[in-house]
C-alpha cells in the first residue's frame, strides 16, 4: 500500500534525514542518532508510518532501555496516529482506525518475562516462576558458597557480588568462564574450578526453586527462540522489531534480535556509539558498529541536526567526544547559533560547589526557568549527598534518580519476600528471608522448614505441625495463617494482601530496625503502589524488573504546580534533557571515576559518560569542580586527584567562561535562615543512607 498524502503531511515536520528513516521500507535499518537529534520523534513517526502502511500494531515489537522510554514511545506513536485519523476523516479518506496502544513495548527483560509466561511451557518452563533481582541472586550464591564449603578455603574466595558479576558477564557476553576471568577478573583466575562448581549449583538451584534472575530472562528467551517449534511461534508473532539505545545492548541481546528476525527484514535499531555507557553490564558498542555487516542490505541513516542545545554548547560537546579514539565521525550542529557559553566553575571545596549550584538554580528560577527544567548530574550517587542535605535544609524540593532505590531497602524487600513466597513456595531465598525475621529462628531451622515446605508441595499447612522455639511462640501461628490466607480465597485483593503482610510484619520491623516510623511509611506507600497492578504475579515481576526510580514515581502522576529540581546520576539521565544542567565533581577521580581507569577502554567509557552529561543541556551548562575534596582512603585535602577532569584539556577549556564558586555564608548566618524541616525531607534523606 502506498503511503497516503495524509501521512506525508504528518511527516513534513521532520527534517530530511529523519523523514528518510521514517519512511524506510522493511530492509534492516540503522539510525545513528546523535544526542538531541530527535531520535524519539523519528522512531515514533517510523512506527506510525508502519502502522499506516498496514502493519498490525500488535505485531510490532519495540524494545527500549527503560519502561519509561517504552511508555513515552507508545504515547508519541498514539498521538501521531490520532492526528492521522483526524486528518483522514476531515479529508473524507477511507482509512482504518489506527491505535498505538496494542504495540508490544518494554525492556528486553520485561518482554522476555511476558513471552516466557506465554510460551515457556513448550520448553519445559513452568509459567509460575518468580523473578530474582541482583541481591536475591547474591543471597542464593551465598547459600551455595557455604553449602559447597568454598568459604572456608585458606585463601579468600571472591565475594558474593563479585561471583554474580562474573556469572552475569559470562551469560551476557556469551563468553567462557576462563575467558571472562582472564580478561575481566584476573585476580579470580585461581578460583576457576570452584566458581564453575558454584555456578553449576547456582543454575540447578534456580531451576529447583522455580526462579529466574535477570540473566535467565534473556538466556531463556534466547533458548525459546532456538527451539524449532517455540522459536517459530515467537517469530511469527512479530513483523517488525525496533530497538532503541542499541549501543547499550549486549551480545546476548544482539543474538536474541538475530533469532527474532534472522534475515533482518523489519529490523530497525537506533543508537549512538558516542553514548555507550553500560559496558559494566556487558554492553558492547560492537553491536551497533557491526550491525551493517551482520545484516545484509542494511541502510545506515545518521541524524546530525541537533534540536536540543545551543551551538556554543555543541561546540564544546563535539570537541569533548572528539577525543575518543573509536567512533563514528559525526558533527552535530544546531540552528540556534546564539547562546551563553558553558561555564567552568572553580570551587575551593564541596561546600562552595553546593553554594554555587543552589544560588545559580535559584537565580534561574527567578528568571522563569522552573526547577523541573533544571538538573544536577553526577557520576556516583554519593556525590550528591552534601547537596541533598543543603537542599532539604533550605526547603528546596528535589527528586533524586539513580542510586539506592526504594525497593532495594531492607524493609521493602522483607515485605515483598512474603508476597513472593506466597506466589512461589519453592522460592528458597524469599522463604529464608521471611523465616529469619522471626525471633528464635536461625539458619538451621529455616533450612529445615523450607525443605519441609518443599516436600509438602508448597502447602503451608505443614508448618502448623512445627513446634516453634519459645521466642517465636507468639508469632508462629499468626505467621502460618498469614501465609495460608495469602493463597486462600479470602484474600484475593492485592492491596489487601499487602496490608495483611504489613500488619504482621510491622511488629517485627520495629524490633529489627532503627527509623521504624519512616520505614513503616514506606510500606504504606507500597500498599498504595499495589493498587496499580492487576494481580500479584504482575506486581512482583514489574516491581523487580522496573522498580520506581524515585520516590516521586510512587506518588502517582505529579500535579502541575508541583515543581522540583532533578538530581540524577549521569547513567539515569540518559535520553533526558533540561534547560539548565549542572555537572558536579568534574575532577579526576570522580569523573573519570577512580575505579574505572584501569585501562584505555574504561577511560574512554568515562569520556562518553561525561559527554552524555554535557549533552543533556539545552541553554545553560555549568561544570563544577572542587579543588579541595575528600577522597576515600586518602582523607581530606588538596589532592593531585582533585584536579580538573582530564576530559577538559586546555584547548577545550578556552570555549568555557571560567569563574569561581561562591563561598558559603558564615555559620551563624546559616542558622538564621534555618527553615522548618518536614518529615518528608528527613525520610528522603534517611532513605538514601540505608543500605
Annotated binding site for ATP: 33-40
94 burial (CB, 10 Å; 0-12 / 13-18 / 19+) is exposed
Neighbours of 183 (CB within 10 A): 11
Locate cell 523519528: which residue?
Answer: 42
Say which residues have a Cβ less than 8 Å from residue 98's Cβ, sequence separation at least 6.
48, 51, 52, 57, 81, 84, 85
- Closer Cβ to DNA, 134 or 515, answer by number: 134
Distance CA 407, CA 413 (A): 6
521 burial (CB, 10 Å; 0-12 / 13-18 / 19+) is middle
CA dihedral 168, 172, 178, 182 (to 10 degrees): -90
Under rule CB under 7 A, residue 159 binds DNA: yes
Q: State the DSSP H helix or E strand holding residue 31, giving kind and residue range, or none if neither.
A: strand 29-33
Q: Which of 424, 452, 451, 420 is nearest to 433 (CA)?
A: 420
Under rule CB under 7 A, residue 221 binds DNA: no
- Closer Cβ to DNA, 386 or 487, answer by number: 386
Residues 65-104 that bind DNA (CB under 7 A): 65-66
Residues 458-497 that bind DNA (CB under 7 A): 469, 471
Under rule CB under 7 A, residue 156 binds DNA: yes
CB of 282 to DNA, least distance (A): 9
Task: Kindly tell me which residue out of 419, 421, 441, 483 binds DNA, with binding defined by CB under 7 A.
Answer: 441
Task: Kindly tell me which residue out of 268, 572, 620, 688 binds DNA, with binding defined by CB under 7 A.
Answer: 572
Under rule CB under 7 A, residue 445 binds DNA: yes
Taking contact as CB under 7 A, which single stretch among the options 16-24, 79-87, 292-300, 441-449 is the one that binds DNA? 441-449
Taking CA atoms, 554 is separated from 42, 376, 548, 560, 642, in Å, by 31, 21, 7, 16, 38
Question: Which residues are known binding-site members?
Answer: 33-40
CB of 418 to DNA, least distance (A): 18
CB of 469 to DNA, least distance (A): 6
Distance CA 134, CA 113 (A): 16
Locate cell 502493519: which residue?
Answer: 55
Number of amino acids touching DNA (CB under 7 A): 55
Binding mask 384-403 for DNA (x = CB under 7 A): -----------------xxx
CB of 147 to DNA, least distance (A): 13
CB of 27 to DNA, least distance (A): 28
Task: Kindly tell me which residue out of 152, 325, 338, 559 binds DNA, with binding defined by CB under 7 A.
Answer: 152
Under rule CB under 7 A, residue 110 binds DNA: yes
Distance CA 521, CA 529 (A): 12
CB of 673 to DNA, least distance (A): 28
Under rule CB under 7 A, residue 253 binds DNA: no
Say which residues have a Cβ less than 8 Å from residue 571's Cβ, sequence separation at least 6.
277, 278, 402, 609
Task: Kindly tell me which residue out of 24, 26, 82, 134 binds DNA, with binding defined by CB under 7 A.
Answer: 134
* Buried-exposed string 375-414: b where 16+ CB fall within 10 A, e elsewhere: bbbbbbbebbebbbebbbeeebbbbbbbbebbbebebbbb
Under rule CB under 7 A, residue 271 binds DNA: no
Under rule CB under 7 A, residue 639 binds DNA: no
C-alpha cell at 209: 526453586
Say which residues have a Cβ less than 8 Å from residue 334's Cβ, sequence separation at least 6.
305, 306, 307, 308, 309, 310, 311, 314
Task: Kindly tell me which residue out of 200, 451, 595, 677 binds DNA, with binding defined by CB under 7 A.
Answer: 595
C-alpha cell at 447: 533450612
- Closer Cβ to DNA, 443 or 649, answer by number: 443
Taking contact as CB under 7 A, which single stretch among the options 123-131, 277-285, 529-537, 652-660 is the one that binds DNA? 277-285
CB of 609 to DNA, least distance (A): 7
Distance CA 308, CA 334 (A): 8
Distance CA 324, CA 314 (A): 16
Task: Kindly tell me which residue out of 186, 368, 557, 633 binds DNA, with binding defined by CB under 7 A.
Answer: 633
CB of 65 to DNA, least distance (A): 6
Under rule CB under 7 A, residue 167 binds DNA: no
Q: Which residues bind DNA (CB under 7 A)?
A: 65-66, 107-110, 133-134, 151-152, 156-162, 168, 214, 277-278, 280-281, 379-382, 401-403, 436, 439-446, 469, 471, 545-547, 549, 569, 571-572, 593, 595-596, 632-633, 635, 691
Amino acid at each position: 500500500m502506498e503511503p497516503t498524502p495524509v501521512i506525508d503531511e504528518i511527516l513534513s515536520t521532520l527534517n530530511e534525514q529523519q523523514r528518510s528513516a521514517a519512511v524506510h521500507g522493511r530492509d534492516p535499518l540503522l539510525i545513528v542518532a546523535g544526542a538531541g537529534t530527535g531520535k524519539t520523534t523519528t522512531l515514533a513517526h517510523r512506527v506510525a508510518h508502519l502502522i499506516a502502511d498496514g502493519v498490525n500494531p500488535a505485531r510490532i515489537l519495540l524494545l527500549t532501555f527503560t519502561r519509561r522510554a517504552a511508555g513515552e514511545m507508545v504515547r508519541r506513536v498514539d498521538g501521531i496516529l490520532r492526528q492521522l485519523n483526524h486528518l483522514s476523516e476531515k479529508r473524507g479518506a477511507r482509512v482504518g482506525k489506527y491505535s498505538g496502544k496494542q504495540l508490544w513495548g518494554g525492556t528486553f527483560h520485561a518482554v522476555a518475562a511476558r513471552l516466557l509466561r506465554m510460551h515457556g511451557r513448550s520448553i519445559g518452563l513452568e509459567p509460575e516462576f518468580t523473578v530474582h533481582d541482583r541481591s536475591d541472586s547474591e543471597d542464593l550464591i551465598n547459600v551455595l558458597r557455604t553449602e559447597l564449603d568454598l568459604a572456608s578455603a585458606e585463601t579468600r574466595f571472591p565475594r558474593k557480588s563479585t561471583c554474580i558479576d562474573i556469572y552475569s558477564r559470562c551469560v551476557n557476553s556469551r563468553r567462557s568462564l576462563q575467558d571472562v576471568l582472564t580478561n575481566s577478573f584476573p585476580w579470580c583466575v585461581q578460583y576457576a574450578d570452584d566458581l564453575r562448581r558454584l555456578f553449576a549449583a547456582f543454575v540447578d538451584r534456580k531451576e529447583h526453586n522455580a526462579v529466574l534472575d535477570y540473566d535467565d530472562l534473556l538466556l531463556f528467551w534466547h533458548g525459546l527462540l532456538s527451539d524449532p517449534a517455540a522459536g517459530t511461534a515467537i517469530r511469527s508473532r512479530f513483523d517488525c522489531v525496533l530497538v532503541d539505545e542499541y549501543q547499550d545492548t549486549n551480545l546476548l541481546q544482539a543474538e536474541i534480535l538475530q533469532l527474532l528476525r534472522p534475515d533482518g527484514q523489519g529490523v530497525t535499531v537506533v543508537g549512538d556509539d558516542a553514548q555507550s555507557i553500560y559496558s559494566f553490564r556487558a554492553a558492547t558498542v560492537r553491536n551497533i558498529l557491526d550491525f551493517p555487516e551482520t545484516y545484509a542490505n542494511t541502510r545506515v541513516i545518521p541524524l546530525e541536526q541537533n534540536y536540543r542545545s545551543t551551538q556554543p554548547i555543541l561546540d564544546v560537546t563535539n570537541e569533548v567526544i572528539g577525543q575518543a579514539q573509536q567512533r563514528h565521525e559525526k558533527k552535530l550542529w544546531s540552528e540556534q547559533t546564539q547562546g551563553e557559553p558553558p561555564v567552568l566553575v572553580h570551587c575551593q571545596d564541596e561546600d562552595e560547589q553546593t553554594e554555587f549550584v543552589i544560588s545559580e538554580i535559584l537565580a534561574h528560577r527567578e528568571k522563569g526557568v522552573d526547577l523541573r527544567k533544571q538538573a544536577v548530574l553526577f557520576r556516583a550517587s554519593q556525590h550528591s549527598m552534601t547537596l541533598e542535605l543543603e537542599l532539604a535544609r533550605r526547603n528546596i524540593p528535589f527528586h533524586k534518580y539513580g542510586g539506592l532505590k526504594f525497593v532495594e531497602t531492607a524493609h521493602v524487600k522483607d515485605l515483598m519476600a512474603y508476597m513472593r513466597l506466597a506466589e512461589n513456595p519453592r522460592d528458597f531465598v524469599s522463604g529464608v528471608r521471611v523465616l529469619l525475621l522471626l525471633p528464635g529462628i536461625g539458619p538451621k531451622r529455616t533450612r529445615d522448614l523450607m525443605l519441609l515446605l518443599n516436600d509438602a508441595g508448597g502447602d503451608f499447612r505443614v508448618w502448623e505441625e512445627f513446634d516453634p522455639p519459645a521466642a517465636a511462640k507468639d508469632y508462629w501461628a499468626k505467621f502460618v495463617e498469614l501465609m495460608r490466607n495469602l493463597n486462600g480465597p479470602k484474600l484475593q485483593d492485592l492491596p489487601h494482601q499487602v496490608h495483611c503482610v504489613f500488619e504482621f510484619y510491622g511488629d517485627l520491623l520495629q524490633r529489627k530496625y532503627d527509623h521504624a516510623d519512616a520505614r513503616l511509611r514506606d510500606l504504606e506507600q507500597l500498599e498504595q503502589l499495589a493498587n496499580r497492578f492487576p494481580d500479584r504475579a504482575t506486581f512482583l515481576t514489574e516491581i523487580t524488573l522496573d522498580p520506581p526510580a524515585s520516590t516521586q514515581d510512587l506518588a502517582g502522576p505529579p500535579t502541575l504546580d508541583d515543581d522540583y529540581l532533578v538530581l540524577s546520576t549521569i547513567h539515569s539521565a540518559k535520553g533526558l534533557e533540561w534547560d539548565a544542567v549542572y555537572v558536579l565533581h568534574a575532577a579526576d577521580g570522580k569523573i573519570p571515576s577512580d575505579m574505572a581507569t584501569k585501562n584505555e577502554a574504561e577511560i574512554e567509557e568515562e569520556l562518553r559518560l561525561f559527554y552524555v552529561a554535557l549533552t543533556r543541556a539545552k541553554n545553560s551548562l555549568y561544570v563544577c569542580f572542587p579543588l579541595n575534596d575528600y577522597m576515600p582512603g586518602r582523607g581530606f585535602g588538596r589532592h593531585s586527584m582533585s584536579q580538573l577532569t582530564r576530559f577538559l584539556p586546555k584547548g577545550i577549556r578556552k570555549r568555557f567562561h571560567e569563574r569561581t564558586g561562591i563561598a558559603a555564608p558564615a555559620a551563624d548566618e546559616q542558622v538564621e535562615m534555618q527553615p522548618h524541616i518536614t518529615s518528608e525531607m528527613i525520610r528522603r534523606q534517611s532513605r538514601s543512607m540505608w543500605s
